Structure 1
């Protein structure tokens, strides 16, 4: 993504409707540890509509990942809705490396919760954090 843009903003959405495994601060800390030292990458968070956040940041595009066809329908609907809300914010879809197309947070959390080793799927700091969460 850094090859495409001068600056990349990695933004964690704060959603009161969801019960994430990690708190907002924990997720931000994990992101800072994995990507925070990369030049031109900024880690932050937002609450509300993604297009409003993008507009406030003067971001012309939102990057979304597509692992498989199963992701496409939801992401396509979101992209079209975001375009209706603000046509100036474009959605760009990128595919992961083949090694990661089958991964989802649900699968990784399930493996970790059952005591499995997730270190080949996620950064070391995330694997350690998952281990701490599930061994309490």
Structure 2
């Protein structure tokens, strides 16, 4: 059972990580930071240039870190914050359903949190930090 749990945690990290890397690369290579910032400004996102850098770097680097399983809790929270921003500033007005709704960013944000706090044993975090002692010990 542990092998299946670790396998599916890895598959989850891989899948969600690939999506984040792809979105970060897409923004960086097709739009550039200035294009992302311009889109963010149009959407009313505060500090559009800083937000654009945060968005691209967190998606790109965070996606890679999800895949390899490094700094998972931090990465999960940062990606969830990123998706919360997308939900509030861009997709909320579109309702729940795609193409303009927030279901996709909600699913990605929640998945990043879940994986960030349960990335399985096949993660670099487990190699570095090993098994943590139970609370109160």
The answer to whether the superposition gives a TM-score over 0.5 is: no
Structure holding more helix per residue = 2
Structure holding more strand per residue = 1
